[in-house]
Structure 1
Amino acid sequence: MEILVDIILKAGRSAVELSLFVLLPVMVVMLALMRILEARGVVDRLVAGLAPLLRPFGLTGLGVFAALQINFVSFAAPLATLTMMEQRGASDRHLAATLAMVFAMTQANTSFPMVTMGLHLGPTLLFSLLGGLMAAAATYYLLGRHLSATEAPMDETLQHRVAKDPKGVLDVINHAGAEAFKIAVGAIPMLVLSLVVVTALRQFGAIDLLTQGLTPLLVLLGIDPALILPTLTKYLAGGTAMMGVMDEMLRNGQASATLLNASAGFLIHPFDVPGVAVLISAGPRVARVWKVAALGACVGIGVRTLGHALLY
């Protein structure tokens, strides 16, 4: 019992430090910047300019907005956009393509804080865009070609706050700060639980046994066995939990910044159990096409994984 309490206290301390001293400051700045750009109409103009270029990949204007949200806000931000697309009559094919793209792209709530750990943001965002577009195109033209393409007249107007004076800007910043605080505090329970489980498994030798069993195969494939722990954590508990585990591994010298960057393609995206559960709650039609979108996401994540592996 004493060992368990010690594990819980250490995991809790690590989770709170990571959430409040790394995740929160980064998310406050990024969300405030994103929301000000929205309020000033910059995002509207960007979406309008990019929509015609990305439409051949199976994306609408709202799909472009979802891509900006996942890359620069958080993994849950596209939820409202997916709901909006469903309610405004987007076709099942467009919904599946957009969901596949979101599944395959880098999630800002993990990528930006991990810059402090040595993640190279430029290549990560570049491969995120490439993987997202490949996932959307594969879903729209191949995997989801049997889905309905019937589309109601779409209103793609983006709903957001307007900041025309200093008071409006301050209001936008305050709401962005509150949103960032909610994200950071909301991440603490999953971080604590995942770190407790991971620490306990390591303490009782389960991770060592798994690593020993898989090491020969991983070495044959040219994969570092150190990735076993963050990969299990990521796909079972989500990107924020993986970030906590990777932070601890980097501090203890069990992983390097090079390994982090080489593995970013398959570790930093919302295609995991918590991410899928959150995003398919956008609506019944979104939930119906998630399996097709998941296959498309695998294509995009594969492209990202290959890109990072070749670069690093």
Structure 2
Amino acid sequence: MKLLVTGAAGMLGRTTVQAARDLGHDVVGLDRAALDITDAVAIENALRTHHPDAVVNCAAWTDVDGAEEHEDRARLVNGVGPRLLARAAAAADARVVHVSTDYVFDGAPHDPWVESDPVAPLNAYGRTKLEGETGVLGAGGEHAIVRAAWLYGAGGPNFVDTMLRLGAERDEVSVVTDQVGRPTWTGHLAGALVELAERRADTGLFHAAGSGSCSWYEFAVEIFDRAGVACRVLPTTSEEFVRPALRPAYSVLGTERDPGIVLPSWQDGLDSYLREREAVTS
């Protein structure tokens, strides 16, 4: 299969390129300099040049707090870009796999959120990502929209790296206990994205996140424990740890699809990422 990956320099994009190559696919990875997904002409030229069977869109504005101040800029990348990409892909008969977020939900107490649950984003980032979903759904072509959650991995800022950096600098850190979700290693998600790119005619919304759930506090405790870092984690709340963007309190993604996407546990993902970091630094 000929696969084109946008946002290929980002944390998820670079891992998806490698996962596709490992599976024997012919892969073209385009970073923002090579393809700006807010430029319709550039998208059409890229599809005409590379003739992909499928496009995996990993390009995104991922600065959740920054989107509160720059919602128009975030909307261009998260909302307008996916629509333009999906329309051009539909015209070229290429399947689109688009990555979205758990932040399209309001985080109210709930069973795990499934694909048909009503959406109600709390922040600008979630609103712009929801616009992207709507644009892809309305483009009329082959598509799979994958809502992921709490991503971390090599090649970009993430919670695990932040905790390990703070743990090396401090004796204790404060982390919120009242936000619960499913940490997801990009190495696990990337393989699922490639699998969906292969699943022609399997369309619509999909949820994909590490199995199990935890709070950010519990995640931090586990990070330090598994990494052997002697740093104490102090519990705090979202009310005490105010940030520009509201976060959903309950972001656990489930699925009602059969077959759905089932990823390994978030603990397995954390172990894999810590081994990956150690291999790079050793």
TM class by shorter chain equals 0.3 to 0.5
Bigger fraction of residues in helix: 1
Q: Give the structure-1-normalised TM-score.
A: 0.31
> Which structure has the highest strand share of the two?
2
TM-score using structure 2 length: 0.33
Structure (1 or 2) with the larger CA radius of gyration:
1
